Amino acid sequence: MINVNEFIPELFLKLTSKTYPHGSEDICLEEMVSLGYLPKDISKDTHGNYFYKIGESRTIFASHLDTVSNKHEPVKHVLDGETIRTDGTTTLGADDKAGVSVMIWMMKHNIPGTYYFFIGEEVGCIGSGLAAKYGEFKGIYDRIISFDRRGTTSIITHQSWARCCSDEFADAFCSELNKSDYKLNYIKDDGGVYTDSAEFVDLIPECTNVSVGYYSEHTKSENQDMRHLVNLASACLLVDWENLPTKRDTSVYEGKSFKTYSTASYPADWDNYGTRTKRADTGSSWSRTGTKTRDVTYYQDWYDNSDDIMMRNGGKKSTRRGNQKKKGKTYFDNGGNLVEISTPNDKQYDWLLSKYNGIKLKERELEVIREQYLDIENNDYDKFFYECLVEQMLD
């Protein structure tokens, strides 16, 4: 009989003993296999993601192997009661080794489901995005649950302004987790940002993200509530996964409702909501006067926690594009005209071009790109790339 109070802390400490930036996920996976935490016959897809299937189930459980860091390096743990942090010289990697820990515990108990360990979440959901684009998921799965959210109470219903799971599903999931004796208090949360499960919203009806007890992610102050992680792992063994309701229609887009306020310029105070107007004389600046207007809602909750947006917005604080120094040229098809984007780190645009080039962007997709992957205020290349995308949407 495995003791969860011993197994989860020991596993978490091993998983976070080093940082694993994108590109080192194989090392992490191989270490977990060698230590007996993951099965030797775990599969790897053509995109670098790892998955393992147990029984017959219409459920996917998801977490990601990469962590926010410039390099693969040792982590020095500091134990403070039931909280684990570092000595302040590195990130902890609880985002998302906490989620990995929960999934391994479930696998050890043969909970039916397809278990996905994605790569490159921290640099743009690379692994999950490719899996969703080229894999077979539609009609096969009813739900995908990512274990990758800060705090201890969230069952996410919206990611990047758009609904990702139904209220009925979220309510039932909360009830299932809270019914145990582990003193959990999950509630619906429509303030999700973006993680791997969001890549599947057009394919799988119920896509959510679950709080796993970490805080101050993407910083050297990151810490993990171990009591919550142990309790969550225990409660997940009791959930009736296959009978959770399936209500959301993947063909219907449902955004989040906001009040609308006027703003004088774009980008403006992003704590406001507003209407942006393209100024005809510059072609790239924004003001109230001009020829093309789009109503756009901005999501204030993203800005309530500076730790959360540090990686999402890039800039000097960001390691999202880190040490990518690949030289070359990228071309963006702007209405039939090839626009050259020549930068010292072209690689950062490749996956975006593959996902969004050649289609008419939706407002929600444009804002996801801007908020999570581009730093238009501090990086001229990002700004130019974004302006090309804006032109594509408005034309």
Kindly report the CATH number assigned to the domain that includes residue 144. 3.40.630.10
Supply the pLDDT for residue 70: 83
Does residue 89 fall inside a structural domain?
yes
**Three-class SS of residue 347?**
helix
Which strands sit side by side in the sheet containing 292-296, from one edge to the other? 265-266, 286-287, 274-278, 292-296
Supply the pLDDT for residue 322: 31
What does the mean pLDDT of the chain come to? 78
pLDDT at 30 over 90: yes
Same domain, residue pair 212 and 275: no
The residue-averaged pLDDT of 262-272 equals 30
Supply the pLDDT for residue 283: 36
In the block, residue with structure tokens 């039932």: 172
Does residue 250 fall inside a structural domain?
no
Same domain, residue pair 166 and 313: no
Q: Which of 98-107, 266-275, 315-324 has the highest mean pLDDT?
A: 98-107
Does residue 259 fall inside a structural domain?
no
Name the least confident of 99-103, 141-145, 366-370. Answer: 366-370
pLDDT at 184 over 70: yes
Using a pLDDT cut of 90, give the percent of the chain over it.
Answer: 58
Supply the pLDDT for residue 372: 61
Tally of CA atoms within 13 A in the half-sphere of 343 that contains its CB: 20
Does residue 106 fall inside a structural domain?
yes
pLDDT at 87 over 80: yes
**CA of 126: how far to CAs of 24, 210, 260, in Å?**
14, 20, 33
Higher pLDDT, 346 or 192: 192
Beta strands in the chain (DSSP E): 43-44, 50-54, 59-64, 77-80, 83-86, 113-118, 143-150, 154-156, 158-159, 162-163, 187-189, 206-215, 223-225, 265-266, 274-278, 286-287, 292-296, 330-334, 337-341
Same domain, residue pair 149 and 23: yes
Q: How confident is the model at residue 191 (pLDDT cuts 50, 70, 90)?
A: confident
Q: Do 331 and 340 contact (CB within 8 A), yes or no?
A: yes
Supply the pLDDT for residue 286: 31
Q: Write the pLDDT tens digit of every residue in 224-233.
A: 999 999 999 9
Supply the pLDDT for residue 378: 78
Supply the pLDDT for residue 351: 52
Does residue 298 fall inside a structural domain?
yes
Q: How confident is the model at residue 254 (pLDDT cuts 50, 70, 90)?
A: confident
Does residue 256 fall inside a structural domain?
no
Supply the pLDDT for residue 338: 52
Boundary of a domain, candidates 243, 278, 306:
243
The residue-averaged pLDDT of 103-116 equals 98
Q: Write the pLDDT tens digit of every residue in 202-220.
A: 999 999 999 999 999 888 9
Q: Which of 54-68, 314-328, 345-359 has the highest mean pLDDT?
A: 54-68
Tokens representing residue 358 in the block: 């050649």
Higher pLDDT, 112 or 302: 112
pLDDT at 297 over 60: no
Higher pLDDT, 359 or 222: 222
**CA of 55: how far to CAs of 141, 187, 203, 206, in Å?**
13, 29, 21, 20
| Of the candidates 361, 353, 349, 347, the residue with the CA atom closest to the CA atom of residue 333 | 353
The residue-averaged pLDDT of 11-29 equals 96
Q: How confident is the model at residue 235 (pLDDT cuts 50, 70, 90)?
A: very high
Name the least confident of 40-49, 63-72, 270-279. Answer: 270-279
Same domain, residue pair 216 and 343: no
Same domain, residue pair 224 and 276: no
Does residue 82 fall inside a structural domain?
yes
Name the least confident of 173-182, 197-206, 288-297, 364-373. Answer: 288-297
Q: How confident is the model at residue 387 (pLDDT cuts 50, 70, 90)?
A: confident
Same domain, residue pair 168 and 44: yes
Same domain, residue pair 295 and 216: no
Higher pLDDT, 165 or 349: 165
Same domain, residue pair 206 and 335: no
The residue-averaged pLDDT of 90-102 equals 96
Same domain, residue pair 230 and 81: yes
pLDDT at 260 over 80: no
Supply the pLDDT for residue 373: 67
Boundary of a domain, candidates 243, 274, 294:
243
Tally of CA atoms within 13 A in the half-sphere of 25 that contains its CB: 26
**Burial class of 263 by CB neighbour count within 10 A (0 to 12, 13 to 18, 19+):** buried
Q: How confident is the model at residue 77 (pLDDT cuts 50, 70, 90)?
A: very high
Same domain, residue pair 219 and 315: no
Supply the pLDDT for residue 224: 97
Same domain, residue pair 215 and 286: no
In the block, residue with structure tokens 């407002």: 363
Supply the pLDDT for residue 393: 61
Name the least confident of 99-103, 119-123, 281-285. Answer: 281-285
Number of domains in the chain: 2
CA 74-78-79 angle, to 5 degrees, is 135
Does residue 248 fall inside a structural domain?
no
The Cα 64–Cα 48 span in angstroms is 12
User: What is the residue range of 348's domain?
Assistant: 265-394
Same domain, residue pair 280 and 136: no
